[in-house]
Amino acid sequence: MTPNMFFLLVSILFSIGLVGIISRRNLFVIYMSIELMLSSVNLLLATLSKLLGDANGSVMALLLIAVIAAEAALFLAMITHLYRQSRTLDSDHYKKLSKVK
C-alpha cells in the first residue's frame, strides 16, 4: 500500500467521523464518530512517522492511544449516567446543560 492510499484512507475516515458528529443526535454515535476521527489522526501520525523515518510520530500515536482510552472511559461513563437519568441519548435533550452558568 502506498502512502497516498493511507492518506486517502485517513481522509475518508476523518470525513465519515465529521459527518457523524454533524448529522447525528445520538450521543453514542457521536462518541463513535469522535473515536473514528481520533483513530484517523493516529493512522496519519503512524504513516508520517514511517515516511519520514522518524519515531516521533509513532510516539505521538502511542500517546494518542492512551488519550483515546481515557476519553473512552470518561465518555462512556457520562453517556451511561445521562441515560440512567433521562432514558434518552438524544443530544437535543441535553441542550439545557449548555445554559448552566
* Half-sphere exposure for 18 (CA within 13 Å, toward CB): 8
Model pLDDT for residues 3-44, shown as the tens digit of each residue:
899 999 999 999 999 999 999 999 999 999 999 999 999 999
Model pLDDT for residues 46-99, shown as the tens digit of each residue:
999 999 999 998 999 999 999 999 999 999 999 999 999 999 999 888 887 777
- Residues 44 and 25: their CA atoms lie apart, in Å, by 28
pTM above 0.95, yes or no: no
Q: Yes or no: say if 24 and 89 are a contact pair by the CB < 8 Å rule.
A: no
Other beta carbons within 10 Å of 3: 11
C-alpha cell at 9: 484512507
